[in-house]
Each structure stands twice: as structure tokens, then as C-alpha cells.
Amino acid sequence: MRSSLIVIALIIVFASCTKSTTNEKTKPSSTLSTSVSSSVSSNIDQPVTADGLKQAAMSANTNTISSTAFNSVCPLSVDPSQNNPKCLYYRDQNNIYQLCFPLREKKLVFSFEKEKVPSDKIKEPFEVAAGHVMWKSGEDLYVWDGTKAFLIADSGFITSFLFSPNGQCLVWNANWRAGFPVIDEGRFSDSENKENSVFISKTGSQDRIEVYRQTYRVDHLGSDNREDKQLVAWSAIMPSTLYLTTKVERQLYSGHTGIYVVDFASGTETILNGEIEEFLAMSSDERKIAYTPNDKTCCGGSNYTNNTVIIWNAVSKKSASVYDEWKEFGNQGKEDEYVPDTAVFSPDGNLIAISIVGNKYFTTIRKVDGGGNILTVADRFAVGWLDQDTLILGKRSKADYRQRYKVQDMYIYKLKSGKEEPLSLNNVTYLAFK
């Protein structure tokens, strides 16, 4: 397993821009009223446009962001003494609900106009936390802070967005070309420079700071290929730390490449693990990562990869295989596949629930040290852990159980007894469990 450290000369910025300037492309405030519930306040700020966003990033200075300066704009500390409840977020038609445990209190968080709900065809179009909602519709990024809605940015460059662990702040990133590809003999070059800028705002405000910017080289890009940096997680342990991956979209291959740690207070980037192809989960102590490795194969075929799940310890640098499709099913070269879809670590980080999809789907609970399978639950996918013995499981739509978010119902499942209790969430769209 390869692990190396790259300290990049970063251009880190403290740029606080409040609203779009008059010469930027803007949308009238009435636009948003057609995109969110009519009950939402009409006091909508103008968006940060694509041109304005890029101008702000390019014109910023080169100073790093101190933790003190950042926390004055966006407080991130989480009180460890607070026992915050675990909450399940889901969408039922045009409404987003929050169901918190152990009291199972159901709360309406937000309502869209029926014709303005983002399409389920977009993978992970929502981000939710602490009763707040962020979503992307077309090129527009919106946030609902509990009382009003904001159009944060209008930019086709935005590739990912997250809330902070305490829900008080949000982060989003934009990738654009740094100049145009070199034209050689009438053809585009297969290399280009790209820039990734990461912006952070306080939830409920359009004021923002650019906390990270990186220019990186992309090789072997065809006319319809794409490569961007994407946000994976915001650390709950180190508030100034973000986890990123490289999203690669090719004609013959799509996936992620590596996990990076960015500390925007110090201006450093670390390649945490360069062998990661698909990031699946991270333990609560952020020491363990579950992933499928980059097998460096190409072009498809009948089960040409064994869909291994690796648990990697970021401290010890040791790894263990907890799932190996070919060894367990003997299906190498066959049409039937059993592919790791999602995964969640137990609270103590010693167990992991892996959801598998193929000709059928199921959840398998494994020991992270490679010690073997604990149990398998058929026709269920793992949502999250309430405690070390209790899982939230979901049942997917019979029409297409490969749809990650559309579910027929969800259950509270006890590992020791094998008993499950339905939550009676019929035909909803699962959003998050946090």
C-alpha cells in the first residue's frame, strides 16, 4: 500500500465576498421562490455566479487561513459533552423529514414545490445536517437554513458540497480549467491544467472565504473525458481538515483515485492513500477507511475484477481484506457479480456492515481485522448504526434494487437476536443518517 506526503505550495485565500457585483450574471430573487416551498421567506440574496465565483478566487491574496480567523467566520467546534441524537433523513414526495432516535421524533424539515424537486437520477443531489438542507438543481446550489433559503452559487463548475459536522457551516468546491488545452495540429492536447477551489460559508449566509486552491495537471483527457477533485468528508475531529478524492470519468473507466487530506489552516495537502478506487466508509475516529482498490483493469467484461473490500488503518498503514467476491462466490468470469455498494462502520470501529448488489442484494457484517463474517441479512442494505448491536437497514424497491436511495421501508435490526422492527417508511428516498 502506497502512502506518501505531498506538501503543495498552495494559494490559500481569505476572501470574503458578500453578494454578486453589478456586472456579474445574476438571477432575480423571484427565481428561487419557484424552486422552493412557497412558505419560504422571499428575502433571497443574489447568487454567486460562475463568473463572479471565478473572479473572486483568482483575485484573492496568497495568505493562509489561521484557525482563529476562520473560526471567527465559521465556528466549527463540537461540544463532546453533548449527546446529539442520531437522525434519519429521507424524502417523501416533495417533503424532507427528520426522524431522530431513540424517541423517534418525526419532523418536517423542508418542502419543495412538487414540480421543483431535484431529479432522483442525480446521484446524491442532497446534503442534510442538523435540520438544514443543501441541494443542487441544474447548475444552482441552494441551502435551507431552517428559516429561509439561499441560492449560494450559480456555477456549472461546482462538483460537490457538504455541511460541517455541527451543521453550522457548509463547504463547496469548484473545478475549472486553468487556461485552455493546447491545440497541436488541429487537435486538443491530451493534457491540461485544472484548478480546484474550496469555499466555506456560514449556514444562512452568502459571505464566504476561499480556504483552498490547487492547480493540478490532468493527463490523457479526451474530448468527452473529465477529471475533478471532489469533497468526501469534513473531519469531526480536526475542524480545519477536509477529505477529498479525485473523480475520474473516462470513456472506458469511471471511479475515484485516492483520498487526500487538506488542512486549510496550515495550507498542506497529504495523499492519505493513493490506491483507493471507490471510497466506501470512514470510522468515527477517522483512523480506518473502507474502500475497493484500484485494480488497474480496463474495458469491462464478465466479472473482470474481484470487487475486494479493504480496511486500511491510516495510523499503522496496515490493511486487511474483509470481502473478496471471487473467493466467496467462485464467480470469476461469470455474468453474476456481487459488487460492494455502501458500507458503514460500527461505533467502536471494530465491525463494518457492507451492502452488496448483484443478481441479488444483501448486507454482510464483518470484523474489520479480517476475522470473518458475523452474519448476513438478505434483501437489506445498511443505513447506519444506532449502537454496537443495533443497525438501521433498508429494503430497496423491487423495481430496481440497484437504486441506492429509493427504499420500500426501513428497519431497526438487532444483531444478537436477529429481530427487526419496521419503521413504516414506505416508498421514500433515503438521504442520510447522521
pLDDT digit string, tens, across residues 274-321: 888 888 999 999 999 999 887 655 555 566 676 889 999 999 999 999
Lowest-confidence region among 123-127, 374-378, 412-416: 123-127
Grid coordinates of 171: 463547504
The rounded distance, in Å, linking the Cα atoms of 429 and 88 is 11
Q: Is the pLDDT of residue 384 over 60?
A: yes
The rounded distance, in Å, linking the Cα atoms of 177 and 272 is 25
Provide the residue count of the chain. Answer: 434
Percent of the chain at pLDDT > 90 equals: 29
Residue type, 5: L
Q: Is the pLDDT of residue 81 over 60?
A: no
CA angle 131, 136, 139 (to 5 degrees): 155
5-14, 32-41, 338-347: range with highest mean pLDDT: 338-347
Q: Is the pLDDT of residue 105 over 60?
A: yes
Q: How do the domains of the chain map onto residue ranges?
A: 1-274
- Per the CB < 8 A criterion, the answer to whether 279 and 289 are in contact is yes
Question: According to the model, what pLDDT value does residue 290 have?
Answer: 94
More confident: 35 or 186? 186
pTM of the predicted model as reported, rounded to 2 decimal places? 0.80
